[in-house]
Amino acid sequence: MMDDLQRLAERIQWDFDEPALLQQSVTHRSSDGPNNERLEFLGDSILNFVIASEIFERRPDLREGELSRLRASLVNKNALADIARDIALGPHIVLGSGELKTGGRRRDSILADALEAVIGAVYLDGGYEAGRALVLRLFSEHLSRLPDMEALKDPKTRLQEYLQARHLELPHYDVKHISGRAHEQTFRVVCNCESLQLVGQGVAGNRRQAEQAAADDLLSKIAASGATMNDSAGVTDE
């Protein structure tokens, strides 16, 4: 095994019997030769099962939908990319020249996919218990401080619950501006709450995220006005 991959193996605390699996797990499809797509598929399945099993045991109070939302807060592109950065996975990823020139080793999607592929590689090399142990090591901090369900609600849901608890009219979301080319558009959305005479604004790469950002901005303005969010009623997520 090359020295740099040996260092990666040491960081994930697994000594490979088949070093080629680790090499393949960090090889992006833009590069020549066997790539990590199949290993990513395998690692994704193992990761979701292990995390689902852990939160099932740790949070016996949660219903199915709440467990799904909790798992999604742990297993998502951003969270996986952050963990990949924690173990310095990026410099080991093998990319084609095009992806290399555009900073692919820093891209969240590529980092997240490579991390899942590494999990798949460890599973193939050492079996389920080895794969499970790796997932638990990688996610140990996240699992030790699982968020409560209120914190997992998105801004639009929290704003809706706040207003409904006070029998106030729900806000209106309007797209005020769209800029950029078709595949790189930016949306500016306004969230207008006439009952509170407050307006929030959000900008993001798609309409849904821009609406969430606008709702979050409005919630911040509500908090700044001295109102509290503690007496909101329970409402089913949108």
Annotated binding site for Mg(2+): 40, 113, 116
Under DSSP, the state recorded for 80 is: H
Task: Write down the catalytic residue from 10, 15, 18, 44.
Answer: 44
Alpha-carbon gap, residue 163 to 62, rounded angstroms:
25
Q: Compute φ and ψ for 230, nearest 5 degrees.
A: -80, -20
32 in active site: no
Which of 54, 116, 161, 217 is catalytic? The answer is: 116
Which tokens is 237 given? 């997520």
Helices 64-74 and 37-58: angle between axes, nearest 10 degrees: 130
Binding residues: 40, 113, 116
**Is 44 one of the catalytic residues?**
yes
* 187 close to 175: Cβ distance less than 8 angstroms: yes
Cβ(171)–Cβ(163) under 8 Å? yes
Side-chain half-sphere exposure of 76, counting CA atoms within 13 A: 10
Q: What span, in angstroms and rounded, lies between the C-alpha atoms of 163 and 6?
A: 55
Burial 27-65 (b: 16+ CB within 10 A, else e): bbeebeeebbeebbebbbebbbebbbebbeeeeeebeee
Which residues are catalytically annotated?
A: 44, 116
